[in-house]
Amino acid sequence: MNSSSSPDLDALVQLFYDRPHEELGTFQEVMAGDLPQLERILLDHDQHMTLTIEAHHASPVDVHVLEVHNTETHYARKILLSRRSDGLTVQFGIVRLANVALEPEVQSQITSQSTPLGRILIQHNVLRNVRLLSLWKIKVGVELARFFQAEPESNCYGRTALIYCNGLPAVELLEIVRPSMNAEP
């Protein structure tokens, strides 16, 4: 990943899905003005999603790592975030980290799979800059529908973003929020 690179949606999704359109969903890039109001608030910003989701739901969130993909250069994971208050799944994500961009102690805590990424970076005071790249309207596939207890083919929204740590592009993100009709705080 170089400084001009951005998360390639297909590359992130294909880390974990052989049939992404069926399993995860069909993605259409949209402008911020095309998002419903709540999803725009949750997605259209340059902040950590962990903090945004926790503030909206008035509850800390827990991470549930579903699958990991490790190479010599990158650590990737497919995750769900759920509200600690009631266990409701409020976000799906795919995260890919460049191993060289983070200190070993930070990497170790991330790979322990016990804490959301944003909280780890904040706790370790890693100098970071979140850059929103694209917003997405997603026609929900079978697996995403199951995660969110939503109807297949219904719509939800997400974003791709890149986190720079200590000035280096370090973390590629796909973050999808639960459809708002089922996620009141």
Residue 1 in any domain: the answer is no
In a domain, 3, yes or no: no
Task: Please give the tally of structural domains in the chain.
Answer: 1
Q: Is 89 within a domain?
A: yes
CATH code of the domain in which 157 resides: 3.40.1410.10
pTM: 0.89
Residue pLDDT, tens place only, 18-61: 999 899 999 999 999 999 999 999 999 988 888 899 999 999 99
Question: Are 173 and 161 spatial neighbours (Cβ–Cβ below 8 Å)?
Answer: yes
4 assigned to some structural domain: no
The sign of the CA dihedral 88, 94, 100, 101 is negative
- What residues make up the domain containing 67? 9-182
What pLDDT score does 74 carry? 93
